[in-house]
Each structure stands twice: as structure tokens, then as C-alpha cells.
Amino acid sequence: MGYGVSLHVSGDYALFSRPEMKAERVSYDVITPSAARGVLEAILWRPAIRWVVDRITVLNRIEFESVRRNEVGSKIPPRNVSAAMAGSKVDLHQYINEDRQQRASLVLRNVAYIIDAHFVIIPEKAGESDTPEKFYNMFLRRARQGQCFHNPYLGCREFAAKFRFVEAQGERPISYYANDEDYDLSWMLWDIEYEQKEFKNKTLYSFNPRFFHARMVNGIINVPSEVSL
Amino acid sequence: MSEVLKNRYEFVLYFDVENGNPNGDPDAGNMPRIDPQTGYGLVSDVSIKRKVRNYVQFSKEGQDGFDIYVSEGAVLNNKQKEAYEANDLKTKDNKDDKLTAQAYMCRRFFDVRAFGAVMDTGDFKCGQVRGPIQLCFSKSEDVILQQEVTITRMASTTEKENASENRTMGRKYLVPYGLYRLEGFVSAKFAQKTGFTQKDLDLFFESLKLMFDQDRSASRGKMSARKLYVFKHESELGNAPAAALFDLIEAKLINPSEPSRSFKHYELTVDKGSVPEGVQLIEML
């Protein structure tokens, strides 16, 4: 602990879908802790570490725009894939002309955030040489040089994120909401807890969404380290 | 088989449209997409992906491993099926093994290998493939003019219409000229996961260059790929921030007081001197 990192993340568009509005996607007003974690993991992630987002600073004014696109309505049924692999004659194609949905998305425009986060080592997955110093320095190297595992994105992959490392003593941009004492963002997704259990020789996956009450004070959202209802 | 990717790439594609509609907006009755705040034109990421898929489908018809999963209309896929049966792609009988199924999909379908796909049922909740290629929205270099053209038709659809002597009026929308810029990323790490090879990447870049030539239609007008710049990093994770690389390439109107009407009206500057160490700039077009 004690190795905090700060990352300046920005982009022209962003879409952090609200779970209650997913067909016609509507973005949250700001980046969720879970999307912020995804941005950090795009730069560095190992099974032995877990990123914890501490604070999110909202730098730009919150603005929305609507985009409507043609989308495919269904997903690939794995059963058909298995059947094709076994040699039976199933058609594995998706015909977009017959399976088309036009959906609007309410996306954020012109966003910029500073993500303050740290990582914790998961003892049971850490090897001998997995020290916090090692991962911290790896992250510094990558973030300063603009290296990444894959290019981070703001909610959806078509909205790529620019990122740069914010040095500890470095200058931090002023938030548009710096004079806003209390901006209530109401309930937001905090993160999803994934679990994997073995049951009767089968692997069962479960995931629980967790929510928190987000408040922006002078442009800064303090993310709780644990949430419980 | 050629090598799986070992380098990170970024690319910038300039394409233009003359008297056509590059990408209609279903929200605005199929007018060309526009950013309402700035007036710049947009082309969605999925529109470009569709063209890439179509190009690969035309150019690799019936070839093993280049099938296209998200197809437009019917495909003559019997050939491909035969190819598959001949290759005896039976894996060990572990039907629940989603990784086997994923590997099969990646091997067989170019678009799954390149862009990823979502495979999902109740049995396993994370059958998602994230492909190495990530495209953004293309944006025009200047404010575009959305022009509405009214056209008439000499025939009629119904008897009733025919009797009334009223001929149908139709509408077409077009952009007189627009130069658009597409930015994209290729992650070597994801390529290793989906088995996306150097040969696949070459095909992808070829499709960027030639896809508009296979996509002629009444609404598109004249669309052409004009310039394709590729940044090749020496390492897997990259040697420089993507944003810094994209900033090296700029298109400027030579005479801003006149409206742009052709590619000649633009001057492309590429700051070759500032390309960072470990990054190679390749001009593919």
C-alpha cells in the first residue's frame, strides 16, 4: 500500500452505460470506478494485483450528445459453434439485414478526468518476486511512455482514451466544478464482484453489481473502498 | 502460417467523399452524420468495420480462415463448409470448453479474429473475444455542408398513384466534399489471444485502402481512401503515447476562405522529424 498513482484520461466521447438503460444506452454523468479500473488495467494488470480507484476528478463540463447506430440484435450461440465443430451443417453466419436494431446512445462529449488509484497485492496469487515496488515501477514506466497492453477506452471500445501520467508533484488541472460544493450524482455502479466457484465438478461463475451514492465535492468524487447496502 | 503480431500499431486513414453520403444518421432521416456542436461530419466506427468485412468477404471468397461472421445478405458458404469438413476440425469432445469454441471461431472467421465478438449463453457468462483492432469515429477535417437534393421518379408504385398524375418526389442527402480522418489502434497483446497474424494485418490495411472501391452505391457518391499512415512500434506494448503520434499528422486547408471541394485543396503535413525513438512511420498509401 501507499503506492498511489494518478492518471489523466481524456477523450472526445465516452459512454458509461447505466445498467437500467441498456437497450437505448444512456451514459452516467461521469466515469464509474469500474470503467476507471478498466482504463488502469489496459495499461498494467497481473493476476496478482487488484486496482482500487480512490478518487475521480471531473475536469470538464458534463455534456451529452445522442448517436443512433445500426446494431446487431443477437449474440453468437455457442451451441451452434459446438455443432459446427462436430461437423454438422449449421449456418454459423449472422445476417445483419435480418437481425438489425437501430439504437440510440446518449454519450458524453469531450471528457477529461484524473483517476487517483492504488493497487493491492492478492497474497494467494502473488509469486515470490511479485513485490508492490515492481508493479509500481512497471506502471510508471508504461504510463510515462504511453505504453499499454491495449489502448484504454471510455466505456466502449470505439471511444478511445488518451492518457498521460500525472506526477506526484505535477500540476493538476482545475476542475470545471471546482466551486461546486455539492453535486449529487445519485446512485452509480461502483464495480462488479466476480466470483468463481467449483460445484459438483462444474465451474460456476457469478457476478454481483455493487452500487454507491456518488457525490462530487468541488469536482472530486471520493470513491468508497468498500460498499455495502 | 505467418507470425502472430509482435508489435503495437496505430494508424491514421484519410478518406474523402465527393457528392455523396458517407454515413447516414438514422436519427436525422438519413442525413449525413454531423457533430451538432461543431458542424464537423462523422462516420461511425461500425460503418468502417462493415466495409472492411465486405472487402475481406469479396477478396477471400471461399478461402479457409477468412469467412466473415457478421455477413450482409446471403453468403455462398457451402464451399467453406466443405473446406471445414475436409479439414476435420473436430476437437476433443469437451463441448463446455468455451476456449475451444472461441479458438474455433477465431480460426474460422476473420472478423472475429480482428474485431472480436460476443459469444454468450447461460452456461458461461464471459464468452467474449476482444479483437486487436480498435477503431474510433472518423471526423471530418472541416465543417461539412449537408445538402438536400430532391429527385423525381417517372414510374409509380401503385395504380392509385398512377391515376393521380402525382409523381413521387424523393430526397437524397449529400456532402459536396468532406475529408475524413480515421484513427485506429492494433494491440499486439490481443492479437496473440485471437491468433491475428501479420498476414491478417496486411489484409486489414489492404482493405482500408481498397474498401471504398468495393462499396459503390447510389447514396455513397465518390468515396476514396487517400492516405494511410501506419505507426509501427518496436515493442509489443508500444514505445510512445498514441496521442503524441496522432498529433504528428495534420491536414490543413490551403485556402481557408474558400470551401473545400477536392483533395487538392488540402495540405497534409507529416512531422517525420518528431517521430519518437522506436516508432517507425510507414506511408502505405
The model's confidence at residue A153, banded by pLDDT at 50, 70 and 90, is very high
A vs B: CB pairs below 8 A: 147
Kindly give the interhelix angle for A78-85 and B98-108, rounded to the nearest 10 degrees: 70
Most A CBs within 10 Å: which of B82, B111, B119, B236, as the mutation test of the A interface?
B119
Test B118 with A82 for CB contact under 8 angstroms: no
Q: Cα distance from A24 to chain B (closest Cα, Å)?
A: 13
pLDDT in tens, B35-70: 988 999 999 999 999 999 999 998 998 788 898 888
Given a cut of 60, whether residue B143 has pLDDT beyond it is yes
Q: Which of A94-108, B14-28, B77-91, B265-279 has the lowest mean pLDDT?
A: B77-91
Most B CBs within 10 Å: which of A75, A141, A151, A164, as the mutation test of the B interface?
A151
Interface of B with A in 8-67 (CB under 8 A): 25-27, 35-37, 44-46, 67
Helix, strand, or coil (residue A109): strand
Domains in chain A, please, with CATH?
4-222 (3.30.70.2660)
Pick B185's closest partner by Cβ from A67, A151, A207.
A151
Pick A79's closest partner by Cβ from B121, B137, B183.
B121
CB atoms within 10 A of CB B259: 14
**pLDDT value at residue B285:** 86
Q: In one letter, which amino acid is B110?
A: F
The per-residue pLDDT of chain B, averaged, comes to 87
Given a cut of 80, whether residue A2 has pLDDT beyond it is no
Question: Which parts of B164-274 fold into alpha helices (H)?
Answer: 188-194, 198-210, 242-246
**pLDDT value at residue B79:** 43
B100: chain A residues, CB-CB within 8 Å: 85
| Alpha-carbon dihedral sign for residues B207, B209, B213, B215 | positive
Q: Does B132 touch chain A (CB under 8 A)?
A: yes
Taking CA atoms, B18 is separated from A108, A221, B41, B213, in Å, by 30, 47, 13, 14
The model's confidence at residue B124, banded by pLDDT at 50, 70 and 90, is very low
Distance (Å, whole) CA B15 – CA B138:
9
pLDDT in tens, B238-285: 999 999 999 999 999 999 999 999 999 999 999 999 999 999 999 998
